[in-house]
Amino acid sequence: MLKTTRITKNYLVTLVSVPTLLMLALITAMTLFPAKLPAPRFSNSLAFNEKARWMRNAVREKCTTLIVGSSMAFNNIDAKLLPVSRFGNHVVNVGSWGMSVIDSLKMTKIVAPICKPETVVLVTNFMDFNSRWDKNIDWNMFENFIQGKSNL
């Protein structure tokens, strides 16, 4: 009887301690290496989610020019090549793949009050005027994250 009780006790200790140690290891890894984790899920688009994580830090300070739009903005506008005399020295490109014009408007309404740009540039193409791909963006969650109200 005593031997059975000892085996049961050892089993229960192992059953509780292994998951606890794994959870502590996971929390430690998340704390030490946050950049290695995937971005929070704001939408069905991994590219948009990663862009949102980048934007959280990029729009913290005042920007002179804010570039919004779809892949037309993301792929075709290089802030380093824009003339400083016209666009200033702090240009932030928040363009993301698959953004419709409506998505760009929503993003501008969230981001512009934070970085207070002097100029907003909408880079678009005719295909951006229809919703060809619904990314199901949670704009409230995105706004709270960008404003620093949520760490996710």
Mean pLDDT of 17-46: 81
The CA angle 105-106-111, to the nearest 5 degrees, is 95
pLDDT of residue 10: 77
In this prediction, residues 2-10 reach a mean pLDDT of 70
For the chain, what is the mean pLDDT? 84
Stretch 40-47: mean pLDDT: 88
Q: Is the dihedral of CA 73, 76, 80, 85 positive or negative?
A: negative
Task: Answer whether residue 19 shows pLDDT above 80.
Answer: yes
Residue 35's pLDDT is 67
- Which of 125, 128, 152, 127 is CA-nearest to residue 141? 152
Greater confidence (128 vs 4) lies with 128
Residues 57-77, mean pLDDT to the nearest whole number: 87
Angle formed by the axes of helices 46-58 and 139-146, nearest 10°: 30
Q: What is the pLDDT of residue 105?
A: 93
* pLDDT at residue 2 tops 60: no
The confidence band for 109, taking pLDDT boundaries of 50, 70 and 90, is very high
Looking at per-residue confidence, does 96 or 6 come out higher?
96
* Residue 29 and residue 58 in contact, taking contact as beta carbons nearer than 8 Å: no
Query: pLDDT at residue 45 above 70?
Result: yes
Band (pLDDT 50/70/90 cuts) for residue 34 is: low
**How sure is the predictor about 132, in pLDDT bands with cuts at 50, 70 and 90?**
low
Q: Are 121 and 68 a contacting pair, CB within 8 Å?
A: yes
Of the pLDDT bands very low, low, confident and very high (cuts 50, 70, 90), residue 4 is: low
